[in-house]
Amino acid sequence: MGEAGICDRIWRDARLVTCVPGQPGVIERGVVAARDGRILYAGEASLAPPLRAAETVDCGGRLVTPGLIDAHTHLVHAGDRSGEAARRLRGESYAAIAAAGGGILSTVRATRAADQAALVASALPRLDALLAEGVTTVEIKSGYGLALEPERRMLRAARTLGERRRVRVRTSFLGAHAVPPEHAGHADAYVDEIVGAMLPALAAEGLVDAVDAFCERIAFSPAQVARVFEAARALGLPVKLHADQLSDGGGGALAARHGALSADHLEHLGEDGIAAMAGAGTVAVLLPGAFYFLRETVAPPVAALRRAGVPMAVATDCNPGTSPLTSLLLAMNLAAVLFGLTPEECLAGVTREAARALGLARETGMLAPGLACDLAIWDVTSVEALVCRMGPNPLQARVLGGE
Ligand code: DI6
Ligand code: FE
């Protein structure tokens, strides 16, 4: 504790949910103490060491959780694909629309045409919607540039968002999202460019916190993804994967083999993939917004993931095509209703497990000594009341790094 529990700020009379494994679901009359942006103590007031602080915040019995973490977003993009979604509702398929030049490539055209300031300006309202619901950490992917210059603009826009708002931003380079038109029919040549030119340059500029890829029949093969992952490893960067979303392509197992932080989507994940992920400690990031918006019918194998002890995170997948969702609270509700997660699993999925999925388990995601003091303070008294509603935003305050 050091210096007799002197701290900068104390939050008292909280109903605390620490999300630390083994601790009670809710700690009544909890207290959180922070110094230099880090948690000194989080737990029952009656068990706390003597604490003295310049400022005390009375939580009035409100629920206090770790700040929320959205571990999978495509927040930075240009263009509008709502017309395309309406065509899908009239019966056209995602694949047919993509084949006719729509889909990801339509967003690529719009994003390539946008400068960095425009990318930041269009992403800010989406980011603000997340922050208004208690998000303190957000992952942002590239992947709509698909060439060095526009991918760099997307990643710089993501970094700029982190400077314009009080939020921790983690970037993922998703050059292997789709094959760009100039390489149509030559995916391997595009992968050559990713591993030989794009990734090394962007990593050298400090723009890449992790490397992602889309492993799917309509995107990149396991062998192509493996090349991208090997290039990431050579640069010391962690990897993650869009895996088994539309078909079982062995993506979960591939991610696990490469020690991935996470494998995301996983609707069609098979038994082998589950076992491999459990063995590797790869987090399953569930994205119920895309499942809902694409009107999918095969849900990820949540019961089997739970049995195998695979950690499960929940994220928005905020993107213009398959999950135009800017509410992590609604993602939690969808994960409960559509995938069968318990309210506690939903909360752990946007805190502790989401931090793991970003390689931030030692930084945030739980209320425990030494971690960043990232809090969300809610005008509700139970975790159920956060998850089992659609629309209300009970956030009362958001704290990042003790502020
Ligand atoms: N899976 C998805 O659901 C999104 N990307 C991906 O790899 C789709 C992105 C889009 O349609 O723009
Ligand atoms: Fe995605």
**Cross-strand partners of 334:** none
Q: Which atom of ligand 1 is nearest to the CA of 177?
A: 7
Tell me the pLDDT tens digit for each residue of 300-348.
Answer: 999 999 999 999 999 999 999 999 999 999 999 999 999 999 999 999 9
Mean pLDDT along residues 150-161:
98
Query: Atom 7 in ligand 1: which residue has the minimum CA distance?
Result: 214
Residue 5 per-residue DSSP state: G
Instruction: Characterize the bridge pairing of strands 283-286 and 262-265.
Output: parallel
Model pLDDT, residue 98? 86
Cα separation of 226 and 257, whole Å? Answer: 10
Whole-angstrom Cα distance, residue 140 to residue 129? Answer: 15
Cα-to-centroid distance, 364 and ligand 1 (Å):
27
Ligand lying closest to the C-alpha of residue 107: 1
Q: Ligand 1 centroid vs 334 CA: distance in angstroms? A: 18
H-assigned helices in 235-287: 251-257, 271-280
HSE-CB at 272 with a 13 A cutoff on CA atoms is 9
Map tokens 């694909």 to a residue. Answer: 81
pLDDT score for 307: 98
Is the pTM above the cut of 0.95?
Answer: yes
Identify the DSSP state of 281: T
Whole-number Å distance, alpha carbon 131 to ligand 1 midpoint, is 23
Give residue 312's pLDDT: 98
What distance in Å separates the CA atoms of residue 100 and residue 104, rounded to the nearest whole number? Answer: 11
pLDDT number for residue 210: 99
How far apart are the CA of 212 and the centre of ligand 2, in A?
A: 9
**Residue from 104, 107, 212 to probe ligand 1 pocket by mutation (most atoms less than 8 Å from CB):** 104
Residue with tokens 């995602």: 94
Cβ of residue 18 lying under 6 Å from some atom of ligand 1: no
What Å distances lie between residue 312 and 68, 89, 187, 304, 305, CA to CA?
Answer: 15, 30, 32, 11, 8
Separation between Cα atoms, residue 145 and residue 188, nearest integer Å: 18
Share of the chain above pLDDT 70, in %: 99
Which residues share a beta bridge with 314?
Answer: 286
pLDDT confidence of residue 276: 98
What sign does the dihedral 355-357-360-362 (CA atoms) show?
A: positive
Nearest-angstrom CA–CA distance, 103 and 320: 9
Q: How many residues does the chain have?
A: 403
What distance in Å separates the CA atoms of residue 108 and residue 181, rounded to the nearest whole number? 10
> What is the per-residue pLDDT across 18-71, written as a single tens digit (0 to 9) for each?
999 999 899 999 999 999 999 999 999 999 999 999 999 999 999 999 999 999
